[in-house]
Amino acid sequence: MTFRATVLTLFPEMFPGPLGISLAGRALADGIWSLEARDIRASATDRHRSVDDTPAGGGPGMVIRADVLAAAIDAASPADDPRPRLLMSPRGLPLTQERVADLAAGPGVVIVAGRFEGIDQRVIEARRLEEVSIGDYVLSGGEIAAMALLDACIRLLPGVMGNAQSGASESFSGGLLEYPHYTRPQVFEGRAIPDVLTSGDHGKIAAWRRAESERLTAERRPDLLRKR
- Binding-site member from 36, 39, 117, 214 for ligand SAH (CB under 6 A): 117
Angle at 156 between CA 154 and CA 157, to 5 degrees: 70
Binding status of residue 163 toward ligand SAH by CB under 6 A: no
Per CB under 6 A, does 113 bind ligand SAH?
yes
Interface with ligand SAH, residue 122, by CB under 6 A: no
In the bound state with ligand SAH, the residue whose beta carbon lies nearer, of 117 and 170, is: 117
Q: Which amino acid, residue 6?
A: T
Shortest distance in whole angstroms from residue 120 CB to ligand SAH? 11
CA distances from 219 to 54, 155, 205, 224 (A): 46, 28, 21, 11
Which residue in 86, 90, 110, 127 binds ligand SAH (CB under 6 A)? 90
**Site for ligand SAH contains 17 (CB under 6 A):** no
114 in contact with ligand SAH (CB under 6 A): yes
| Residues forming beta bridges with residue 141, ordered by sequence position | 115
For position 118 contacting ligand SAH by CB under 6 A, the verdict is yes
Q: In what order do the strands lie in the sheet with 33-39?
A: 33-39, 3-9, 108-113, 85-94, 130-133
Q: Which of 1, 29, 56, 138 binds ligand SAH (CB under 6 A)?
A: 138
Between 137 and 183, whose beta carbon lies closer to ligand SAH?
137
Interface with ligand SAH, residue 23, by CB under 6 A: no
Of 126, 78, 83, the closest CA to residue 107 belongs to 83
Number of shown-chain residues binding ligand SAH (CB under 6 A): 18
Q: What type of residue is 31?
A: G
**Hey, what amino acid is at 162?**
G
Q: How far is CA 17 from CA 59, 119, 171, 180, in A?
A: 33, 24, 25, 30
> Which spans of this chain sit near ligand SAH (rule: CB under 6 A)?
88-91, 113-115, 117-118, 133-135, 137-139, 141-142, 145
